[in-house]
């Protein structure tokens, strides 16, 4: 309620009126923690107790001094003494008297020693002693049980939820429950995280924009009210909407990292042929897409999306598993890593942080992920022997193959895949209406992580990879099987 989108005015005093006829709530500690958090945010609590026998909890919930902020009513009193108007209440609250800090803690139900005595809460946090436990109310910029974890850089996050016919209404309710849990774990208020949501079936549907709601309770309430919409799964449309609608001025903040959580079973029923292209466009627009598979039906798209970004596909079956994966799922939100700190770019290349990684802008005359290669290189490098526009005749192909000579240096399979993507496909001779296929023949999987990344980029662009391994070790065979297109049994040969 006390947020600007709900009409809160930053110049006006915030006051909660709590009326109760019960001596104690179901959970005294939780009630106290909520009251303390409200006061920590500058909201005063005026309590009214009706026919109470025990006022201990009410005293602890009220802002102090209780002579000012608490009113007790007995309905056996004469009617004239029961009148209590709002103006009278406000009149007795003196703005010149600061509420007492710290407020008294819950005492009646806590026989244990004070858990806050050891000062477990760090970084200026306020400690609330509970029944056999304690709770820390963190200051902005910190989170964790003891407020010992520093928030990462500010982030804008979008939850993208598949609501197609393959998901079904029951699973969609589960998806919303997972979103609620993750929003609660993001520490939205303290860590400057802004959240939005969209769903998609036959078309994408924005539910609320980035920053439209800025507190956890309101966000989860809005997620809970999102309805199920049956239809074909248009994942491509969802990615396009991410890039053009969500992370494009509608609350999206400049120079703040953009993270999209894709919750889906992997099904693609509409625009299948451009799904990976739209994903790549979104990723190249500095949107990190985190695929989370729920009741996986189809793997190809979401596994390639993860691979292209150097991520692993996360697959969950129930909420318990989501709890155990929480740190991995939220790492893109909380991480604050300067990937350029070690100056990874060589030969004068300029390093730029990019979605948890880095990109090197190379000087003229150099290429490669870290500008490690000269554009013209012989031994130890990959060479383009035949372009597609010259490879339409059998004689030209045979001539190029027969002219290949063995070099004495190490093989560079990663660079071969990279040049295939950058120097062959998308250039003269590449036909848009014909599928692209790479036949990758190698006797080495040297620099396997870089090979995986380049293979992932090719597959994300729709290129099929067939691998032929010669005299490979068992581990290299496993890497080649990962690099080829699925199904492995049809595309990996040794």
Q: Quick one: CA dihedral 55, 56, 61, 64, positive or negative?
A: positive
More confident residue, 181 or 81: 181
- What is the 3-state composition of the chain as percent helix, strand, coil, each rounded to the nearest 5? 35, 20, 45
CA–CA distance, 453 with 359 (Å, rounded to integer): 14
pLDDT the model gives residue 396: 59
| DSSP state string for 190-230 | TTTEEEEEEEESSSEEEEE-TTSS-SHHHHHHHHHTPPP--
DSSP type of residue 27: -
pTM, to two decimals: 0.49
Cα distances (angstroms) measured from residue 392 to each of 79, 420, 443: 101, 17, 28
pLDDT the model gives residue 252: 87
pLDDT the model gives residue 82: 52
Q: Which residues pair with 136 in a beta bridge?
A: 127
pLDDT at 262 over 90: yes
CATH 3.40.50.410 is the classification of domain 155-334:
yes
pLDDT the model gives residue 379: 33
Q: Which fold has domain 4-92?
A: Rossmann fold (3.40.50)
What is the domain partition of the chain in residue ranges? 4-92, 155-334, 407-493
CATH value of 407-493 in 3.30.160.110, 3.40.50.300, 3.50.50.60, 3.40.50.410:
3.40.50.410
| Same fold for the pair 4-92 and 407-493 | yes
More confident residue, 222 or 86: 222
Contact 305, 289 (CB under 8 A): yes
pLDDT band at 377 (very low <50, low <70, confident <90, very high): very low
pLDDT per position as a tens digit, 96-154: 455 554 555 554 444 446 788 889 999 988 888 876 678 788 887 887 778 888 888 88
494 token code pair = 């040794």
Contact 340, 356 (CB under 8 A): no
pLDDT band at 78 (very low <50, low <70, confident <90, very high): low
CB contact set of 380 (below 8 Å; sequence gap of 6+): 407, 409, 410, 412
CA–CA distance, 176 with 159 (Å, rounded to integer): 10
């Amino acid at each position: 309620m006390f947020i600007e989108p709900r009409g809160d005015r930053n110049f006006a005093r915030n006051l909660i009126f709590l009326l109760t006829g019960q001596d104690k709530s179901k959970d005294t500690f939780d009630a106290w923690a909520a009251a303390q958090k409200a006061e920590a945010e500058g909201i005063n609590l005026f309590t009214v107790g009706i026919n109470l026998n025990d006022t201990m909890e009410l005293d602890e919930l009220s802002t102090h001094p209780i002579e000012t902020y608490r009113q007790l009513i007995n309905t056996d009193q004469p009617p004239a003494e029961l009148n209590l108007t709002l103006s009278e209440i406000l009149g007795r609250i003196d703005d010149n008297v600061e509420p007492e800090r710290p407020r008294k803690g819950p005492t009646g139900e806590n026989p244990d020693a004070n858990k806050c005595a050891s000062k477990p809460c760090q970084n200026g946090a306020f400690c609330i002693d509970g029944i056999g436990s304690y709770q820390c109310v963190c200051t902005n910029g910190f989170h964790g049980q003891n407020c010992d974890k520093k928030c990462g850089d500010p982030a804008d996050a979008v939850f993208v939820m598949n609501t197609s016919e393959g998901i079904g209404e029951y699973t969609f309710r589960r998806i919303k429950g997972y979103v609620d849990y993750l929003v609660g774990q993001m520490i939205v208020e303290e860590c400057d995280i802004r959240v939005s949501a969209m769903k998609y079936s036959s078309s994408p549907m924005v539910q609320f924009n980035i920053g439209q709601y800025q507190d956890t309770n309101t966000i989860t309430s809005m997620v809970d009210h999102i309805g199920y919409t049956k239809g074909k799964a248009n994942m491509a449309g969802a990615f396009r909407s991410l890039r053009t609608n969500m992370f494009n001025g509608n609350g999206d903040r400049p120079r703040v990292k953009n993270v999209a959580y894709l919750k889906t079973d992997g099904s693609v029923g509409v625009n299948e042929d451009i799904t990976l292209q739209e994903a790549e466009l979104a990723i190249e627009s500095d949107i990190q897409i985190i695929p989370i598979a729920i009741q996986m039906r189809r793997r190809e798209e979401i596994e390639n999306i993860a691979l292209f970004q150097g991520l692993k596909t996360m697959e969950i079956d129930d909420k318990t598993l989501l709890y155990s994966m929480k740190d991995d799922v939220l790492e893109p939100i909380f991480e604050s890593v300067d990937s350029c700190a070690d100056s990874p770019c060589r030969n004068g290349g300029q390093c730029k942080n990019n979605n948890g990684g880095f990109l090197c802008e190379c000087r003229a005359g150099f290429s490669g992920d870290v500008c490690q290669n000269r554009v013209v290189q012989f031994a130890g490098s990959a060479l383009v022997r035949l372009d597609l526009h010259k490879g339409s005749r059998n004689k030209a192909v045979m001539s190029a193959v027969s002219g290949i000579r063995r070099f004495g240096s190490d093989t560079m399979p990663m660079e071969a895949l990279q040049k295939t993507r950058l120097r062959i496909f998308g250039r003269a001779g590449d036909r848009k209406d014909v599928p692209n296929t790479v036949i990758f023949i190698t006797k080495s999987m040297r620099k396997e992580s870089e090979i995986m990344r380049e293979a992932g980029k090719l597959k994300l662009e729709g290129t099929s990879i067939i691998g032929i391994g010669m005299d490979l070790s068992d581990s290299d065979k496993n890497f080649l099987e990962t690099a080829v297109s699925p199904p492995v049994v049809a595309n990996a040969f040794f």
